[in-house]
Structure formats: C-alpha cells, structure tokens
Amino acid sequence: MIEFENLAQANRPFFEQYKESFAETMERGWFILGENVRHFEQEFARYCGVPHCTGVASGLDALILALRALDFPPGNEVLVPSNTYIATILAVLHAGLKPILVEPDITTYNIDPRRIEDAVGPKTCAIMLVHLYGKSCDMDPILKLAHRRGLKVVEDCAQAHGAKYKGRRVGGFGDFGAFSFYPTKNLGALGDGGAVASNDPRLDAMIGKLRNYGSDRKYYNELIGVNSRLDELQAGFLSIKLTRLDEINAHKRKLAQIYLDGLKEDFIKPAVSADCFDVYYIFNIRHSRRDALREYLLGHEVKTEIHYPVPPHRQKAMQGVFDKNSFPLSEEIHATTLSLPISYAHSEDDIHRVVEIMNKF
C-alpha cells in the first residue's frame, strides 16, 4: 500500500534530535514562552525574510489574531478566496468581520487578482489571500490593487512554508503572514502550533500581547487578549525541523516533477510558472471522473485525499453567511480535484509506481 501520509515515517529522520530537545526542555522546566519559542521566532522570521515573527497556538489563531491586530471596525468586509480551507473564512468571522468570497483563477486555484477589484466595496478593509497547495498567489497585481484601494493584506501561508514569488518567500508581502504548524504541513510540529510574521514592529507587538492575555508584562493587561501561545516543546521541535525545511521542500518538488513529467495529459496537472517556486503541500490533479479514479487507485493500493470535498459556501456552518451562493469555479475545483501522495516519507519509486497506475486509468 502506498499511504497518503505517514507522519511517524515523515518525522523519523528527526527523532533523535527531537528526543534531545525534549530532554533539554524537561530539564529546564520552563514550558511556556521561554527560550525555545524566542529562538524559533527569530529563526523562522529570518527564514521568511521578515524582521518579526510571533508564535501562537495554531494557524487559525494566527489568522484571527492578525485580523484583530489590524483593528478594523466590526462588520467590515474581508475578501477571501471561495476555494480555501474553512479556517480562512472562520478567522474572518471570529474577528467580527464579514467574509466576501472571490473566485479563483482556474489554472492556479489561487484568488484571481482580476476578480478582486469587482468585490471591493465601501466596507472592504482587507484581502486575506491563501497560497493554496504550496503555490504563491500572483502578488504584484494584488499588492498594487491593495495599495491603490487602501486595503490591508493578510497572507494565509498555512500551506506554503518556503514557497516563493519572484524569488521572495511568502509571509512578508502583506501586513501579516499567518502560518500553521499542524503536523501534516511542510513545517509540521508534533501537535498544534502557528506563527504570525510581519514587517512592522508595532503590529508584531500587538500579536505578542493578544496571544498572551493582552499582556507583555506579567499581570498588566493592555488588550482583551486570549491564550494562544506556541509551547516550548513544539518550538524546540520546530527549530530542528526548520533547519531541514528546504530539504523537505526540495524532496517534494522532486516528487512533483515526476508527476508533472510522467502523468498523461488526461489529468489536469498543477500549473508551473517562472514567477512561482512551489512547495507542493499538496499535489493535486483534476479529472472529471475523480471519484472513480480515487476508487481505482485504492483498488491498486494507492491512497489519495480530496482537498476539499465540500466548498465553503456549501458547508452547513456557513448557511446565511454569504450574500451570494453561486461560485461555479470553486464548485468545479471541489468536484474534480484529487490529491496524490507527496510527502517527505515517499520515495521516487513510490511516485513512479503511482504514475504507472494512474496512466492505466
């Protein structure tokens, strides 16, 4: 069986270092907001090419706190892609704002810069874009438009650690870059975790307070904060994995190339462009008989996933949230997309095998 994901296997190369880090943290006896978190924040900021980074408890919290730090009037509108993981939209709602869905470019699956302008209204305050599946959005036109219309930009980088646009890593293009370290992500912890990257020391300080009961000085509370802290154990593991993130991404890119070169043209493959250095959090293809293809692959011992089976506007939780409910491109993607195995634990032979089986479908 070729698994879709095996997290024990994918983390095995780091086990010995993780055990040392675990023992050190245990001995130190300091488990929340200590030197591991500070060290990781510095290293991850450096990696992303930004001056500031603050660790938080999850990717969802990173998105919520980024919006809260920008301090928009309640009920203002945030533009989000119509095809994203539900967390992006939940973050807007939890921040007391209104999500407005914008359809994607059908070739990149990322928010379509040409459609953003039409969605901007008098109450629009921000664009929350998602670098989906590990491919950067087309940042130049988005940043230009945001600047012209006075909109803030938050990047949901949960699927794009290390992805680049025109040679620059994502996370520092907008006002905030929000990251998740959920175990399956390219930079995954052994539990939950997240971080917010930014270029602005004042905004970064806001995140630092918001994540810790509104306080950066014990027992003095300046903001209505929450408890959303990255913990010392996870930060220790993440610092270790971060030193190997480029290697993880390179491995996934090598596997992606095997799919890109080998899969027959019946499958719609991910777009590749000179502007984008993709890190393939997911390698998706599209096919009109997706469900039959998935069954066929399972019959040949290849496990796949669907990211995602139900579009956000069709989720039960989202009933009544959106003014309009017709998002044909998002529907088309959700109905046809299939995610193939592509992890640090997979070998090139595994992928050649999947290609061989796929091409007989």
Ligand X SMILES: *Cc1c(COP(=O)(O)O)cnc(C)c1O
Exactly one of 54, 124, 159, 212 binds ligand X (CB under 6 A); which one? 159
Question: Residue 72 or 182: which CB sits closer to ligand X?
Answer: 182
Which residue number has the CB closest to ligand X? 59
Residues 114-133, mask of contacts with ligand X (x by CB under 6 A): ----------------x---
Q: What is the largest CA-CA distance in the chain?
A: 65
Query: What's the closest the beta carbon of residue 79 comes to ligand X, in angstroms?
Result: 15
Taking the C-alpha atoms of residue 199 and residue 269, their distance in angstroms, rounded to an integer, is 35
Interface segment toward ligand X; rule CB under 6 A; list 3-11, 55-63, 108-116, 211-219: 55-63
Sheet holding 77-81, edge to edge: 52-56, 194-198, 176-180, 152-156, 124-130, 77-81, 98-102
Please tell me the count of residues contacting ligand X according to CB under 6 A: 15
Query: What's the closest the beta carbon of residue 57 comes to ligand X, in angstroms?
Result: 8
Query: What's the closest the beta carbon of residue 70 comes to ligand X, in angstroms?
Result: 17
Taking the C-alpha atoms of residue 72 and residue 37, their distance in angstroms, rounded to an integer, is 29
Query: What's the closest the beta carbon of residue 91 comes to ligand X, in angstroms?
Result: 8
Question: Residue 127 or 293: which CB sits closer to ligand X?
Answer: 127
Query: What's the closest the beta carbon of residue 316 comes to ligand X, in angstroms?
Result: 19
Taking the C-alpha atoms of residue 228 and residue 222, their distance in angstroms, rounded to an integer, is 16
Question: Residue 159 or 284: which CB sits closer to ligand X?
Answer: 159
Interface segment toward ligand X; rule CB under 6 A; list 25-33, 54-62, 134-142, 256-264: 54-62
Interface segment toward ligand X; rule CB under 6 A; list 79-87, 101-109, 290-298, 339-347: 79-87
Question: Residue 70 or 154: which CB sits closer to ligand X?
Answer: 154
Exactly one of 194, 208, 270, 341 binds ligand X (CB under 6 A); which one? 194
Query: What's the closest the beta carbon of residue 77 comes to ligand X, in angstroms?
Result: 19
Residues 256-285, mask of contacts with ligand X (x by CB under 6 A): ------------------------------
